[in-house]
Amino acid sequence: MRGLVALLGREKVLGAREDLLLYEYDGAVDTATPDAVVLPESTADVAALARFCHEHRVPIVPRGAGTGLSGGAIPVEGGVVVSFARMARILEIDVPNLRAVVQPGLINLHLSTAVAPHGLYFVPDPSSQKACTLGGNVAENSGGPHTLAYGVTTNHVTGIEIVLSDGTVLRLGGKAVEDEGYDLVGAFVGSEGTLGLVTEITVKLTPLPEDKRTVMAAFPTMDEASETVSAIIAAGIVPSAIEMMDQLATQAVEASVHAGYPLDAGGILLLEVDGPRDGLDDARARIEKICRDHLASEVRVASGALERERLWAGRKGAFAAMGRLSPDYYVQDGVIPRTRLPDILRLVKDAGVRHRLRVANVFHAGDGNLHPLILFDSRLGPDELERAKAAGLEILTACVEAGGSITGEHGVGMEKNCYMPLQFQPSDLAAMRRLKDAFDPDGLMNPGKIFPTPSRCREFAFASTAR
Amino acid sequence: MSATVTRAIPADAAECARVLADAARDRRTVRIRGSGTKSYIGDIAPTDIEIGTSRLAGVIDHEPADLTVTVGAGMRVADVAAVLARAGQFLPLDPPHADEATIGGVIAANSNGVWRARYGAVRDLLIGTRIALADGTVARAGGRVVKNVAGYDLDKVLVGSFGTLGVIVEATFKVLPVPAASDGLVARFVRSADAFAAADAVIRGASRVEACVVERSEGPAWRLAVQARGSAPTVKRAVDDARREVAARQGKSNELGDELGQMRELPARAIDGALVRASLPLAASPAFAETAARLESLAALVADAASGVVRVHLLGDDEAVIRDAEALLLAARVVGGSGRIERRAEQLRSRLSTWPTRPNGDFLMRRIKDSFDPAGILEPGRSAFA
């Protein structure tokens, strides 16, 4: 602590108990208190900090806005949490090259807002985009509703500046789409802070679509909604977003956001097509017809930007709205092949019943990326969270057995690292470990994440079902 | 280096891994061969063993409604396309050597065509791989679902790794439904600046085109080829928009024939002289092309306006080709891009290295290579960081 203050100055280091408490949690359910929190203001600060921690063998845990949903920013093995709150500037908006260069603490939505006057935007739009940071997006390879057509964070990052755990500063990639040699930018994105600290990010900017059509369709049950998703894809339509919500989620959202979703529907789809104006109404009409063919009780097309915003506010505010239903929730984000949606949704429901917990579903149906929100009440005792986790594990096991993944966009973190053997064989994990050792041979970067740790994962012994 | 090359054609991933483990134990060097279409890339010398992937072929999984396909790495891209076409789908990759290139080769060489304007590159479409490793194990990276952040994205490291880390035995890609309509145009310009300005307007416009490529070959004229696919109204709009941008810059539009195919296949044709491949920030392409146009040995130039990847074919006197190639690589670097000598005639091999400078992060690349291939047997001469 004293060493850190001497190195960086009093105003960049937090060590008081009451300050540290603010950094012991993120958007998930686990907590751990850091030994110190550092608020660097430059790459030089970050490099000095890394050298210090390397010398003293202290773990480093990077943190953006703390909105992560897998405990990625939690210092599970202690050490220094590095908050990027003071490195939040846009360094360059390069319109001719369709790039922006930003610092990691920049809030996702602020980038799109800043470049909108140029007719551009940053595509990945996680539901937390009003709060989450670009550095966090890079760490988690974040997605969002519109990644169905346009890809996730890794498809929109061309360059990074990183600080390795020994303090080495390295610039990888740049404004060009690719560099010679191994794609280290691609390796780093989605590495959950375990390979290094990102201090600067070069992202692609995309021309804003000329127009959009947003459709809300209500179905009697989730089955019809699921079948509609498959039918739309089979018809050769690739919407920019296909989101699904069940009745429990709809009720919570309506109570808090008043998005205008019908309360009596068993399942709701929110669909969007965007692009050149010509053809949008054609696509919208085909989507409407497919919805009606699948017994939609109501199909509503947003009449303008305001109504579209309202429909999306419901979807993006869904997690926050869960507070209307329950004091706590535990969210999983397993992925399945789209065609397995109806089976898996039934299984999710059964898992909830079996563990005596309510489950709300609000998710990226077009990608097959589930978000079951398992509702519990920690005031009723520790058993509640345990049952929620047990239900979550059953759901993830089913996702892997269906040929899917334990996480589509939230990351493994400390929440699912014990579950990695569900999806990966020892040889798969060993290959990943080689990458880790190349970047961080001393294991100081965000330890206890992604890879199963013997101490915490003893109770889990899985045989991988992966082919 | 031995005089005779041992050829192995493993039937499955496990056998492939065994061949590698034996080779590593005996310190025998290995080349991996799909169809052999891109064997010109790299500073390669003969190896002790050649592993052919021809038996690692065939469709392993294709559920059309999931919009994914899993295939053996030895399968030809053209054969994958034929299978998908029967389900009304396509793999949105159009690499050079279109008839022969295999899936594994396309991944290993990061081989992209002109479609990346719309669909992205190999790295954007590949969602899973299985690889046979030099320690005799088989590892899987990614998966078979379109969204997946479990663990590191090793697929990205394999794209463009030229087989230096292991043998790709299987791959899963995102696929798309075949669009209802397709159309395009090709335009001629006197000035390169006009061709690039029209291309830039097209890629920034509301219409989303599939390909937008500027070319210069025989004669002083510049050509712009634009292709759009999608629903009929969007295609019409895209071509109308492109035609207007062309006309506004004194270009002459014609119907699109096979020009894009010819532009894409420049690497296949560039047998003599040298082929420089540069990846540039988008806005740097026009000046780079202008520089190339002044070179004594310029034979052809193909610039993908949507990605900033520019290929320049140089022909003529060896000294001029070498001088011009080095000038282009330098020009790429000074604008924040990178480049390589993708192909060169036999007599230029000793004088033009594929990667004359090391990329940033070369020490990390070296560590990754050493950890996957400690004996250093895999694809000698194909590491950009060596």
Best of A434, A446, A467 to disrupt the B interface by mutation (most B CBs within 10 Å)? A434
CB of B145 within 8 Å of a chain A CB? The answer is: yes
Give the pLDDT band of residue A289 (cuts 50, 70, 90).
Answer: very high
Put the strands of the sheet holding B138-142 in their side by side order: B59-63, B68-72, B167-174, B126-132, B138-142
Question: Which residue in chain A is spatially nearest to B153 when comparing CA positions?
Answer: A187
User: For residue B335, what are its two tokens?
Assistant: 């604008």
Q: Which of residues 312-341 of A touch B (CB under 8 A)?
A: 335-339
The per-residue pLDDT for A462 is 67
Residue A127, pLDDT > 60, answer yes
Rounded to a whole number, what is the distance in angstroms from the first to the last CA of chain B?
A: 19
Whether A464 has a pLDDT exceeding 70, the answer reads no
Q: Which residue of B has its CA nearest to A163?
A: B361
Quickly state the pLDDT bin for B1 (edges 50, 70, 90). Answer: very low
Q: What local confidence, expressed as pLDDT, does residue A234 receive?
A: 85
Beta bridge partners of B171: B71, B129
Suggest the residue from A158, A161, A177 to mutate for an interface test with chain B (most B CBs closer than 10 A). Answer: A177
B278 min Cα distance to partner chain A (Å): 9
Q: What is the mean pLDDT of residues A15-40?
A: 94
Helical residues (DSSP H) of chain B, grouped into ranges: 13-26, 77-86, 103-108, 116-119, 122-125, 154-158, 192-204, 232-247, 259-264, 266-269, 285-293, 318-334, 362-372
Q: How does residue B217 score in pLDDT terms, banded at 50, 70 and 90?
A: confident
Phi–psi pair at B349, nearest 5 degrees: -55, -45
Assigned token pair, B162: 């030229």
Cβ of A180 within 8 Å of Cβ of B64? The answer is: no
- The b-or-e profile of B293-332 (16+ CB within 10 A means b, else e) is eebebbbbbbbbbbbbbbbbbbbeebeebbebbebbbebb
Residue ranges and CATH numbers for the domains of chain A are: 2-83 (3.30.43.10), 90-207 (3.30.465.10), 211-321 (3.30.70.2190), 329-358+373-457 (no CATH)
Domains of chain B: 1-178+357-386 (3.30.465.10), 179-262 (3.30.70.1710), 265-354 (3.30.70.100)
Query: CB-based contact (8 Å) between A59 and chain B?
Result: no
Q: How far is B339 from chain A (nearest CA, A)?
A: 7
Gap between the Cα atoms of A286 and B65, Å rounded: 18
- CA-nearest of B136, B123, B66, B56 to B92 is B123
- For the stretch B9-36, pLDDT in tens is 999 999 999 999 999 999 999 999 999 9
Q: What residues 180-239 of chain B have any CB closer than 8 A to a CB of chain A?
A: 180, 204-208, 230-234, 236-238
State whether A430 and B233 contact (CB < 8 Å).
Answer: no
Give the chain B residue whose CA is nearest to the CA of A423.
B150
Q: Please judge whether B359 and A180 are an interchain contact, meaning their C-beta atoms are less than 8 angstroms apart.
A: yes
Find all residues with CB under 8 Å of B223, minimum gap 6, and list them. Answer: B186, B187, B188, B189, B195, B214, B215, B216, B217, B259
Q: How close, in Å, is residue B35 to chain A by CA atoms?
A: 22
Q: Which of A152, A420, A436 sits opposite B150 (nearest CB)?
A: A420
Residue in chain A lying closest to B337 (CA): A176
Asked if A246 and A239 count as a contact pair (C-beta separation under 8 A), the reply is no
**pLDDT value, residue A463:** 59
Mean pLDDT, rounded, of chain B: 96
A459 or A334, greater pLDDT: A334
Which of B20, B63, B145, B309 is most worth mutating to test chain A (most A CB atoms within 10 A of its CB)?
B145
Structure confidence by residue, pLDDT tens digits, B311-353: 999 999 999 999 999 999 999 999 999 999 999 999 999 999 9
Q: Is A414 exposed, middle or buried (0-12, 13-18, 19+ CB in 10 A)?
A: buried
Q: What's the whole-number mean pLDDT along residues A387-410?
A: 96
Cβ neighbours of B309 in A, within 8 Å = 177-178
Rounded Cα gap, residues B96 and A266, in angstroms: 49
Interface contact A404, partner B, CB < 8 A: yes
Residue contact B149–A408, C-beta within 8 A: yes
Mean pLDDT of B351-374: 96
- pLDDT-based confidence at residue B3 (cuts at 50, 70, 90): low
Question: Nearest Cβ partner of B143 from A170, A405, A420?
Answer: A405
Pick from A177, A275, A367: which is nearest to B308 by CB?
A177
Tell me if residue A62 falls in helix, strand or coil: strand
Which range (A294-298, A417-421, B116-120, B252-256) has the least confidence? B116-120
Q: What is the pLDDT of residue B45?
A: 84
Task: Give me the mean pLDDT over the A83-101 stretch.
Answer: 98
- Intra-chain end-to-end CA distance of chain A, in Å: 48
CB contact under 8 A, A176 and B159: no
Distance, CA of B250 to CA of A307 (rounded, Å): 43
Residues of A in contact with B281 (CB under 8 A): 94, 97, 99, 174-176
**In A, residues 178-207, which contact B (CB 8 Å cutoff)?**
178-187, 189-191, 207
A285 touches chain B (CB under 8 A): no
Distance in Å, alpha carbon of A169 to nearest chain B alpha carbon: 10
Residue B2, pLDDT > 70, answer: no
Quick check: A176 and A168 in contact, CB under 8 A? no
pLDDT band at A467 (very low <50, low <70, confident <90, very high): very low
User: B261-295, pLDDT tens digit by residue?
Assistant: 999 999 999 999 999 999 999 999 999 999 999 99
Residue B379 reports pLDDT greater than 80? yes
Indicate which of B62, B148, B176, B366 best probes the interface with A, i.e. most A CBs within 10 Å of its own CB: B148
Rounded Cα–Cα distance for residues B185 and B212 (Å): 10
Residue B208 reports pLDDT greater than 70: yes
Q: Tell which A residues from 106 to 135 touch B, by Cβ distance under 8 Å.
A: 119
The token pair that represents A14 in the structure block: 């937090």
pLDDT digits (tens, 9 = 90+) for A142-186: 999 998 889 999 999 999 999 999 999 999 999 999 999 999 999
Q: Considering chain A, what percentage of its residues have pLDDT values greater than 70?
A: 99
Q: What is the mean pLDDT of residues A222-233?
A: 94
Q: Is the pLDDT of residue A137 over 90?
A: yes
Nearest CB partner across the interface for A190, out of B123, B153, B385: B153
State the SS3 of A260-321.
CCCCCCCEEEEEEEEECCCCHHHHHHHHHHHHHHCCCCEEEECCCHHHHHHHHHHHHCHHHH
Query: Look-up: residue for tokens 């894409």?
Result: B264
Closest alpha carbon to B99 in B80, B82, B83, B76 = B76
Give dist(CA B342, CA B352) in Å, integer. Answer: 10
Cβ A146 vs Cβ A123: under 8 Å = yes
Beta carbon pairs, A and B, within 8 Å: 259
Check B146 against A279: CB less than 8 A apart: no
